[in-house]
Structure formats: C-alpha cells, structure tokens
A and B are shown apart, each in its own frame.
Chain A
C-alpha cells in the first residue's frame, strides 16, 4: 500500500472467506429455507404438468406459469446459492447484464428470423 499514489488509500485486497459461528447459523437457515422454496416450486411444476388437463386451464397459461416458475427458481439459485445477491454492484452487473442481453438477442433472432426456415423448406425440398 505504501506505493499507492492515489490521494485516497485503496482498501487492501481482501475477500470474505471466513465467517463466525453466529453468521454460519444464519447462513444455514437461509440455505434450508431456499431448499424448501426450490422443492415447493418443483412440486408445483410436476403436479401442474400432471393435472392441468383435468382442471380446465389453457395450455398457454400452463406454459407461461412454467416459465415464470423456472425463472423464479433460477433467481433463488443464483442469488442465494451462488451468492450473487451479496456481491458488490459492479460484480452483479458484469455477470447479469451481458448474459441477459445476449440471451434476449438470441431469442429475438430465433423468433424474427424463424420465418425463413419455412421458406427454405418450401424452396429446397
């Protein structure tokens, strides 16, 4: 640190690799709570997959429910198990923003350019 020329001294390089017994207890409680949440969502998904024909809901609505529940599950895994929720803001953005942008870009092309494959099938075969 003695070589630092900044007028404000930067924090020494450190990283949270330890926590106390007390914090450990809290962390474990969060872990198990999240386990029940993930289990509950999976149970709802499977049950819905088996009974949706008998309860008079449209396939479109069921599909949307599946997608929403999946994204919720992904959020809980990334935020709590992969700990991203507690990282610094720059870190979060560096991970989330590029992925979401590229994923949306991919989906956009699949949806808009998809029409060409139908044309190709008619011309080529």
Chain B
C-alpha cells in the first residue's frame, strides 16, 4: 500500500514512536486476542474430534441430522449449512470491501459495504436460530432411548444398551435400528435391526425421545448434542457480538467520526474480528458437519 499516515501518539507504541510490527497497538492487540480465541475453538474442536472417534460406532452422522431446509419438504442433507457457509463467506467479502473503501476515505463505500455485512451477519444468526429450533424439537417420529439390556453384535461382542439411541426405519414403527455399525467409523455399513419380540422388550425398557437437549439426544449420543450446543453456540455468540460491534462502528461511520479522524483503521480492526468469525465457521463446517 503506497500512502501511509503518521498516526497520533495515542495509538502508537511507546519508545520513540517506533512500531516494530508496522502496525498500531490496537490492531496488534486485536490479533493477539484472536490467537487466544482461536485456541479456545481449537480446544473445543479437538475435544469434539476425540469423542467423535471414541464413540465412532454410535456417533450420529451430521448429514442425517441436519436435513431440513426452510419452506421445503423432504431430505436435503447439508444444503442449509452450505447456504449458511456461503452467507458468512459473502459477509466476509463485503467486510473486506468496506476496509478497502476506508483506505480510499470513501465514506459512502464504507457505509454501503459495512451495511451489507450487518445484514449478512443478521441472516446468519437467524439461520442458526432456525437450526437450533429444529435440533431441539427433533423429528415427528422421535427415537427410543434404550434401557437396560444386552445385544450381541455380528462380530460376537456383547454390548450394553443402556442410553443407546435406536431410531425407527419409517412411520409404521415396526423396525428399530440400533446405531452400531459393523465396522466402527464406517458410515456406510448398515445398522442392526430390532423387530417382533425384541422390539416389544426394547420399547418396554426404553423411553421415547423427541429432539435434543444437554442430556438426551434423539439423533444419537448425548455428547453430540452437547458439542453442537457448545460449539455452534460459542460461535454464534461471536457472530452476535460481531454484529453488535459492527453496528456501533457503522453508526460512527455515518456520523463521520473516522472521516474526521483521518483514517478508517477502526473498520479494519473490527474487520479482523469479523473475518475470524468466518474463519472459525470454516473449521466448524468441516469438523462438525462434513467429517
């Protein structure tokens, strides 16, 4: 970037006004905050990865959980999450365009692009609320949380059924599917089936579950629900605070605060935070929804 500006001493580092990093104090501190925040998310996602593989034989597949799309019937695995991802990437683009406009002191441009970023963030938050609603309320069919009992797997091992989630094959409720896979982790291997006498016994000992909360989860292991609420909730909190901060800066842009100050660095700083939120979602999308 060609033209630089000598900044006021309040935002400069101490020591002869020399910045060893060629960046202001505020921008660098934003980066340091983002590192610590990134490590929190790294912790969340590694813990998720650990339990996902530890319980791989009974872990639900995300593409079987998030199959709804607003105003559409039927099965649309991952489509809605893909749309949410697209919205967030798009809002990252509008944010970086706002930063670019700020570099040219183009107040109108900053207002326009930052406004679009706000709208993108709001749509994403709405989408997340919609997805939480569906996950919490679950399907019409529900599932059965099995009680005490033992089942022999095809390979001869005997497993306790306590707390295991079994799902119906269809509305007729004649066949229950046990989530054990023939080969642990292989999402293509078929589930075990319960019918007749076995089914009656399983229903008597078990409990009907609809949707998910922190202790029960219709779709499978309760930890899947816990991680879903904590990871997407923690990310959603970041998006929410991002929208609030962007709004405050947006109001300042309209009032001409940064025009008077002579530079739009504040837009760049909140922009870093906003890109970080997008960056985290890129990882959540892969590790929670895809793999």
Contacts and interface: CB of A to CB of B under 8 A. Distances in A.
Q: How large is the interface on A (under 10, 10 to 19, 20 to 34, 35 or more residues)?
A: 35 or more
B104 A19 contact: yes
Nearest to B50: A110
B54 A114 contact: yes
B282 A102 contact: no
A77 B42 contact: no
Contacts of A39: 86, 89
Interface of A is mostly: helix
Interface of B is mostly: helix
A55 interface: no
Contacts, number: 182
B253 to A, nearest CB: 14
B1 to A, nearest CB: 4
A50 B77 contact: yes
Interface of A: 1, 3-4, 6, 10-21, 23-24, 27-28, 31-32, 34-35, 38-39, 42, 45-46, 49-50, 53, 59, 63, 66-67, 69-70, 73-74, 77-78, 80-82, 86-88, 90-91, 94-95, 98-99, 102-103, 106-107, 110, 114, 117-118
27 contacts: A1-B17, A13-B7, A13-B17, A15-B24, A15-B27, A16-B3, A16-B103, A17-B102, A17-B263, A19-B3, A28-B97, A31-B93, A31-B96, A35-B89, A46-B78, A49-B63, A66-B290, A74-B279, A77-B278, A78-B275, A81-B278, A87-B21, A91-B22, A95-B31, A110-B46, A114-B54, A117-B50
